[in-house]
Copies of this chain bind each other. A is one copy, B any other.
């Protein structure tokens, strides 16, 4: 199994040691090291009756790398710890892990493998901010800063809804491979948003370079994640509207997690638009502004709904 896994992963360059010794040995960044770990658990973060093992592996990599994107940084390496029942199709799992890592331009340099009752993938990512820049924390927003998101929201939640409607055996569809949702390309896109999310690395860097003062990735839903910026920065937030992904409901856009779009604050929204355009990226959406009163959490003039992913502890 280890050999099959290694075959899916790129080899170490000269001077580095990746899989196969007590630790991996990699070159350090010149500037600060960004490090984080994220864990995806079968039945908690991924329903294996609806998505594949490859999708679970893909998600584990995206969710970890997305945290580096939310600092305005770039990922340098991954360590992947897998626990799973012995019967698990490890090749499928690592297909997803290797695919996401390749797409995001980062290498798996080590990891470990244990038995466990559930499939569980903990991905550690190390990264850095390019050109000696400073990472964008959650705590730098100021009253008057614009609130900006990098894309429409709710697609992943809508995709999960479509997968659930189709059922574990795909019984909601006519035949395998045909349109399973009745929504055509839009439905397929929503499902892909749930099964194959991507981390917004280019967008995070463009936000940092255009003056972002605070940033977070939308993994738990904007209603929940925006509170973290408000709390860390001691500002209020006044949201006028949010862009809703085609086929998703407003509720899914506000409460649904797993989109991995970035939410950031910046004093000069025009500068942000120019920077994204120059970088060849989609124009982000200004959704509101930061206010002085930390008690203000409003959406279209009403209190912001208290919803989103419930952390268990």
Mark A residues whose CB is within 8 Å of B.
1-2, 16-17, 20-39, 41, 43-45, 67-68, 70-71, 73, 77, 79-81, 83, 86, 90, 109-118, 120, 122, 124-128, 135, 137-139, 215-217, 232, 311-313
Extra A-B contacts (19), CB below 8 Å, given A22-B68, A23-B125, A26-B35? A20-B138, A21-B139, A23-B73, A25-B71, A26-B32, A28-B28, A35-B77, A36-B79, A37-B122, A37-B124, A39-B81, A39-B83, A41-B116, A43-B117, A81-B122, A113-B311, A113-B313, A118-B118, A120-B120
Q: Contacts A71-B23, A114-B312, A313-B113 given: A32-B28 contact, CB under 8 Å?
A: yes
| CB nearest to A16 among chain B residues | B32
Chain B residues within an 8 Å CB radius of A109 = 35
Indicate if the CB atoms of A28 and B25 lie closer than 8 Å. Answer: no
Checking B32, B126, B216 against A27 with a beta-carbon cut-off of 8 angstroms, the contacting residue is B32
Indicate if the CB atoms of A21 and B110 lie closer than 8 Å. Answer: no
CA distance A2 to B231 in the complex (A): 16
Lowest 8 CB-CB distances: which A-B pairs, in order?
A: A23-B36, A28-B28, A22-B70, A22-B67, A122-B122, A1-B313, A124-B124, A115-B312
Q: Contacts A28-B28, A70-B22 given: A90-B33 contact, CB under 8 Å?
A: no
Indicate if the CB atoms of B44 and A115 lie closer than 8 Å. Answer: yes
Checking B22, B71, B126, B313 against A2 with a beta-carbon cut-off of 8 angstroms, the contacting residue is B313
Indicate if the CB atoms of A29 and B28 lie closer than 8 Å. Answer: yes
CA distance A209 to B171 in the complex (A): 65
Q: List 27 A-B contacts (CB under 8 A).
A: A2-B313, A21-B137, A21-B138, A21-B139, A21-B232, A22-B67, A22-B70, A23-B68, A23-B73, A24-B36, A25-B33, A25-B135, A26-B35, A27-B33, A35-B79, A36-B79, A36-B110, A37-B112, A37-B124, A38-B81, A39-B81, A41-B83, A41-B115, A44-B115, A81-B124, A114-B120, A122-B122
Checking B25, B67, B80 against A23 with a beta-carbon cut-off of 8 angstroms, the contacting residue is B67
| CB nearest to A85 among chain B residues | B312
Checking B1, B23, B34, B39 against A122 with a beta-carbon cut-off of 8 angstroms, the contacting residue is B39
